Structure 1
Amino acid sequence: MTAFLFIISFALHALSLFIIILLYLQLSRIKEVEKRQSQFIKEMEQTVSAYLVEWKEENERFLNVLSKKMNRRNDDGEAKRPSEMRPQKGEWTLSLDHVEKMKDKVEISTVYAKKNEQPSASSLVEQVLQLQKEGKTIEEIAKLLKKGKTEIELLLKFRQM
């Protein structure tokens, strides 16, 4: 009778040890997934913050150019009003009238250019992926498409998911 109880005791101990090992393995997998998730979140935060910094710098450059155009001085040394600004040779004005006049010309020229282009990727994502397949670096892709390096990196990272 005691031999039977010892056998049952050993069997229950072995079963409980097996269950404890399985639970430990499952817990370690969950911790690993949690670690990868936190690393992914950190990378996304860094990418978004880099994109925002680049965006901020671009906006500051635009505001500097705009303020320089708005603060142009005439011969008397007085600041010109935007309505008084006239384009000098080779300059562009920032008036709404000018934008409205040029709008139709730009649309016509882009349609004409698209008709004369070779068939290529229609969207930015497709263009980026095509250039990446051709072996171009992120910097080269950004220069070719006239986009920011961070924007291209973001596009590629989101596309990988």
Structure 2
Amino acid sequence: MIAFLLVVSFILHALSLFVIILLYLQLSKVKETEKRQQQMAEEMEQTFSAYLLEWKEENERFLKELTDMLTNRTKADRKQSSSKADATSTKEEALPNYFPNVDDVKDIVDIRHQAMPSLVEEAWQLFEQGKTIEEIAKILKKGKTEIELLLKFHQK
């Protein structure tokens, strides 16, 4: 009887040792996965910080050029009273990359023409006329899901 109990005890000990080894292997896999996720998170953080740094530098460069342009414009405005020809040449020089076609812009607003209805207004008008979402999408040349979301978000 003691021999049987010893054999059962050895089998249970071996089985428990096997289960402990399996659990240890699974734990090591989980630790490896956590390390990889932590490395990926660090890489993403570094990428975002580099992107934000580039964005900040670009904004600072834009602001510097804008302030330079404004100072040149005020200088040009002061010179304009003395000579208009000099002012236009410095004004053209003061508008480098960001505003290449400033002279082509016209500051005329015509209030006689009624503004075109927006996409939301057109979609609502068609919807109130009893059109289906598919028909509205075909008429406005938009996607069915886009029209559906547009109507949902802009409910009156």
When the two structures are superposed, what TM-score results if normalisation uses the length of structure 1? 0.51
Aligned length: 95
Offset of residue 71 of structure 1: 1.2
Structure 1 segments of 4 or more deviating over 6 A?
A: none
Offset of residue 70 of structure 1: 0.7
| Distance in 2 (alpha carbons) for counterparts of 1:68 and 1:89 | 12
Give the direction of change, closer, same or farther, for the CA distance of 1:22–1:46 in structure 2 (3 Å limit). Answer: same
Which has the greater radius of gyration? 2
* One-letter amino acid matched to 1:31: K
Which residue does 2:93 correspond to in 1? 91
| Distance in 1 (alpha carbons) for counterparts of 2:89 and 2:14 | 89
**Tell me, which stretches of 5 or more residues in structure 1 are unaligned?**
79-84, 102-161
| Distance in 1 (alpha carbons) for counterparts of 2:5 and 2:13 | 12
Which residue does 1:29 correspond to in 2? 29
Identical-residue share of aligned pairs (%): 56
When the two structures are superposed, what TM-score results if normalisation uses the length of structure 2? 0.52
SS of aligned partner of 2:69: helix
**Tell me, which stretches of 5 or more residues in structure 2 are unaligned?**
81-86, 107-156
Task: Indicate the RMSD between aligned Cα atoms, in angstroms.
Answer: 3.0
Which residue does 2:5 correspond to in 1? 5
Q: Which has the higher contact order (CA 8 A, sep 6+)?
A: 1
| Distance in 1 (alpha carbons) for counterparts of 2:91 and 2:29 | 68
Which residue does 2:110 correspond to in 1? none
| Distance in 2 (alpha carbons) for counterparts of 1:95 and 1:86 | 14
| Distance in 2 (alpha carbons) for counterparts of 1:30 and 1:87 | 69
Alignment of structure 1 residues 1-161 onto 2, 5 Å: 1-72=1-72, 73-74=75-76, 76=78, 86-88=88-90, 91=93, 93=95, 94=99, 98=103, 100=105
SS of aligned partner of 1:71: helix
